[in-house]
């Protein structure tokens, strides 16, 4: 499982960020200080659809003030506190709260003060909650209510300022000037329409998989475009793919995952979260952020997820792990599933990768290879082992023992030497192919489904066969029958598992063969094999049936041990046709492996 040029799928293993990212029950006391939910990204910096209100502007010690959180859209969670307005960033809470609805809200203990904060009790969507704040006996002069609101897992606002209430006799501060400096925001906005491949190779560089697909018309089209802007020395990226969960691309110095600059568009219910991260080693992305991204927009429709953003060619030194865009990198494109707010990866290798310089004087349309070279070799060796050498070898042992009775090869019967030679070659091919994915992945593939388990079974059973053969009893032993049945059963089971592994393997993202063409070829191979097996079983049955009609036992033995010359020739032709047909199906699949 490796590659030489371009395509390969890296998947980002599941994560659930600490400390509050997985606390849908609202037990988020670990976030009391900074009030950040730690959901794997930064809070939104744009306007919030939520607001805090209070039914009073002044208070005396022991007073009760009703505080309400409401919004124009629902929210999944929140954390509400009252803080000293003079040191709101210190994290010290003021007073306590009393619940109005204990079903949807709960009290928390912050700064060792019970009831000093309020949060949600579940991830049930709400649009309004209310609580009562109780002023302490010795309050500060000014108290401000602050709240963190989680709209969706990746969409949240941290420490939204609420109203400030003043102790009786304290003069309120004059309102701040409404003229505020412009603040850069990366709050995503919806895209007006789908991306198009028009302009690829002319005004922008594009990566398309499959080649020539149109993201506007084809929901299965993986699309990445890069448009350099000389005016402000930035690059506009457009990313599109099936809305299964996330799509992402990464910049890497080599063809191996790790220490990469990753950019992700993650489906979050009916929204899309756009962020950047650093991939350290072969782990999940660290510290997702929108820092450095601007003009962010997205679209989620028709089974397609699309996002657009721009990024400066050179970032400040405050962005460790992030790469400048005026260098040559391996470019990875990836996709995977998102479930319950977590990104689950199918594989640890990229869906697509290519090596190029992102900022060039001439836009182009990029091409690459989906299948890493080690993965191509793995698939080719397994197909050769079980579509040709192993298949023909089992046929020889099952149907050709009585043939060529007067001929020997290296002191043994011809059928035995042919069978043993083909099966030993099958075992060697299987063993070598089995270890190639480990050389590529450097670990067990946790998200490749049942395929690696089938592969382990095939290897174990393949190695069992020659071990059994070494200890087989003599031909005249009463235990020879047990060996024959066991040898046949293990061989048949191994071949069935190998075929099943091929069916599953052709859908692995690291060596994704064209569908449904490759599946149809493999179905044709299985049908071809079954037809010949039925044909030879029928011939064997008829031969035995003719023998049983004879009253002479000697004739029976002679028929079984010495078939007629013409019968032997016909069976030899059948074996040749079988081998040629298997080779044709094998070449058809190998050609698709080469073109991956």
Q: Give the pLDDT confidence of 433-454 residue by residue, as tens digits.
A: 999 888 776 667 665 778 889 9
What token pair was written down for 547?
Answer: 């023998």
Q: Which pLDDT does position 557 carry in this prediction?
A: 47
| Long-range Cβ contacts of 284-288 (<8 Å, 24+ apart) | 284/12, 284/13, 284/14, 284/15, 284/343, 285/12, 285/15, 288/40, 288/41, 288/42, 288/264
pLDDT at residue 512, as a whole number: 65
For residue 469, the surrounding DSSP H or E stretch is: helix 451-470
Question: So what's the pLDDT on residue 352?
Answer: 42
pLDDT of 24: 64
d(C-alpha 191, C-alpha 299), whole Å: 5
- With tokens 């988020």, the residue in question is 28
376: its two tokens? 């191509």
Tokens of 293: 């991204």
pLDDT tens track for 139-178: 999 999 999 998 877 788 888 999 999 998 887 766 554 3
pLDDT range class, residue 40, cuts 50, 70, 90: low
Closest CA to 147 of 135, 166, 130: 130
Lowest mean pLDDT: which of 480-489, 538-547, 555-564, 572-581?
A: 555-564
Average pLDDT over residues 65-87: 87
Is the pLDDT assigned to residue 21 strictly greater than 70? no
d(CA 248, CA 50): 30
Share of the chain above pLDDT 90, in %: 28
**Residues 245/267, Cβ–Cβ less than 8 Å:** yes
- Interhelix angle 390-399/414-441, rounded to 10 degrees, is 150
Q: Torsions phi, psi of 19, nearest 5?
A: -95, -20
Question: Distance of alpha carbon 442 from its chain centroid, rounded?
Answer: 17
Distance CA 236, CA 238 (A): 7
pTM of the model: 0.47
Q: In sequence order, what are the residues at sequence separation of 6 or more whose Cβ sits closer than 8 angstroms to the Cβ of residue 201?
A: 363, 364, 365
pLDDT in tens, 198-222: 888 777 888 877 767 788 888 888 8
**CA 384 to CA 332: how far, in whole Å?**
30
Is residue 7 very low, low, confident or very high in pLDDT (cuts 50, 70, 90)? very low
Is-contact 279 286, C-beta < 8 A?
yes
3-state SS track over 523-588: HHHHHHHHHHHHHHHHHHHHHHHHHHHCCCHHHHHHHHHCCCHHHHHHHHHHHHHHHHHHHHHHHH
Contact 337, 330 (CB under 8 A): no
Please say if the pLDDT value at position 478 is more than 50: yes
pLDDT at 343: 36
Q: For the ranges 82-86, 181-185, 198-202, 214-218, which has the lowest average pLDDT? A: 181-185
Question: What average pLDDT does this structure show over 490-500?
Answer: 93
E-strand stretches of 6-154: 50-54, 58-59, 64-75, 77-84, 96-99, 105-110, 113-120, 126-134, 142-152
Higher pLDDT, 252 or 479: 479
As to burial, measured by CB atoms within 10 angstroms (0-12 exposed, 13-18 middle, 19+ buried), residue 176 is exposed
Please give the pLDDT value at position 364: 53
pLDDT averaged over the chain? 78
**Which has the higher per-residue pLDDT, 66 or 30?**
66
Q: Where are the beta strands (DSSP E) in 113-259?
A: 113-120, 126-134, 142-152, 155-167, 189-190, 205-209, 222-229, 234-242, 245-252
| 368 — pLDDT class (breaks 50, 70, 90) | very low
The two beta strands, 234-242 and 222-229, are antiparallel
Predicted pLDDT of residue 570: 84
In whole angstroms, what separates CA 210 from the centre of its chain? Answer: 18
Angle between helices 480-505 and 390-399 (to 10 degrees): 150
Q: For position 344, what pLDDT does the model report?
A: 31
pLDDT of residue 219: 80
Distance CA 243, CA 220 (A): 9
The yes-or-no verdict on residue 253 having pLDDT over 50 is: yes
Quick one: pLDDT at residue 432? 94
**120 closest CA partner among 84, 156, 72, 88:** 156
At residue 348 the predicted structure's pLDDT band, cuts being 50, 70 and 90, is very low
What is the CB neighbour count within 10 angstroms for residue 52? 19
ω before 516 within 30° of 0 (cis)? yes
Give the Cβ contact number of residue 399 at 10 Å.
21
H or E stretch covering 378? helix 373-384
A 10 A CB-CB count for 587 gives 12
Give 277-320 pLDDT, tens digit per residue.
877 655 566 567 777 888 888 888 888 899 999 888 887 655 66
The answer on pLDDT for 347 being more than 50 is no
């Amino acid at each position: 499982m490796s590659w030489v040029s371009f395509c390969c799928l890296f998947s980002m293993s599941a994560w659930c960020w600490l400390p509050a990212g997985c606390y849908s029950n609202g037990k988020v006391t670990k976030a009391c200080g900074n009030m950040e939910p730690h959901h794997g990204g930064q809070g939104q910096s744009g306007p919030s659809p939520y607001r805090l209100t209070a039914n009073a502007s002044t208070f005396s010690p022991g007073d009760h003030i009703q505080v309400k959180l409401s919004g124009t859209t629902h929210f999944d969670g929140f954390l509400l506190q009252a803080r000293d307005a003079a040191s709101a960033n210190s994290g010290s809470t003021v007073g306590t709260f009393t619940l109005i609805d204990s079903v949807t809200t709960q009290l928390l203990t912050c700064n060792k003060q019970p009831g000093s904060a309020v949060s949600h009790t579940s991830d049930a969507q709400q649009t309004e909650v209310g609580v009562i704040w109780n002023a302490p006996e010795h309050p500060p002069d000014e108290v401000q209510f602050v709240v963190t609101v989680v709209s969706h897992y990746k969409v949240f606002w941290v420490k939204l300022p609420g109203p400030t209430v003043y102790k009786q006799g304290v003069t309120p501060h004059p309102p701040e000037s409404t003229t505020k400096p412009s603040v850069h925001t990366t709050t995503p906005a919806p895209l007006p329409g789908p991306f198009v491949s028009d302009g690829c190779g002319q005004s922008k560089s594009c990566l398309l998989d499959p080649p020539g697909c149109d993201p506007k018309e084809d929901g299965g089209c993986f699309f990445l475009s890069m448009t350099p802007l000389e005016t402000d020395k930035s690059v506009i990226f457009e990313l599109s793919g099936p809305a299964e969960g996330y799509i992402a691309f990464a910049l890497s110095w080599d063809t191996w995952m790790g220490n990469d600059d990753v950019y992700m568009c993650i489906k979050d219910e009916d929204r899309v979260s756009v962020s950047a991260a650093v991939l350290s080693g072969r782990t999940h992305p660290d510290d997702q952020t929108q820092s450095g991204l601007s003009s962010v927009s997205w679209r989620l429709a028709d089974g397609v997820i699309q996002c657009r953003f721009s990024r400066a060619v050179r970032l400040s030194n405050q962005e460790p792990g992030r790469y400048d865009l005026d260098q040559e990198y391996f470019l990875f494109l990836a996709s995977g599933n998102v479930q319950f707010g977590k990104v689950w990866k199918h594989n640890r290798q990229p869906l697509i990768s290519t090596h190029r310089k992102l900022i060039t004087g001439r836009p182009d349309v990029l091409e690459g290879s989906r299948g890493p070279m080690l993965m191509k070799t793995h698939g080719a060796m397994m197909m050769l082992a079980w579509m040709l050498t192993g298949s023909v070898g089992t046929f020889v042992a099952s149907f050709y023992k009585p043939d060529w009775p007067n001929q020997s090869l290296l002191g043994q019967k011809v059928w035995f030497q042919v069978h043993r030679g083909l099966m030993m070659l099958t075992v060697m091919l299987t063993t070598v192919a089995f270890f190639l994915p480990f050389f590529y992945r450097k670990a067990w593939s946790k998200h490749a489904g049942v395929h690696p388990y089938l592969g382990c079974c095939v290897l174990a059973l393949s190695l069992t066969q020659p071990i059994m053969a070494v200890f087989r009893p003599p031909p005249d032993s009463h235990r020879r029958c047990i060996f024959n049945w066991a040898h046949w059963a293990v061989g048949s089971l191994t071949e069935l598992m190998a075929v099943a592994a091929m069916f599953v393997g052709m859908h692995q993202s690291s060596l994704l063969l064209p569908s449904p063409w490759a599946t149809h070829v493999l179905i044709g191979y299985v049908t071809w094999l079954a037809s010949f097996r039925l044909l030879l079983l029928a011939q064997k049955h008829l031969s035995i049936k003719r023998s049983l009609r004879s009253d002479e036992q000697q004739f029976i033995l002679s028929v079984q041990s010495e078939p007629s010359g013409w019968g032997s020739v016909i069976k030899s032709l059948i074996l040749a046709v079988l081998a040629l047909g298997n080779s044709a199906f094998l070449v058809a699949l190998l050609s698709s492996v080469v073109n991956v």
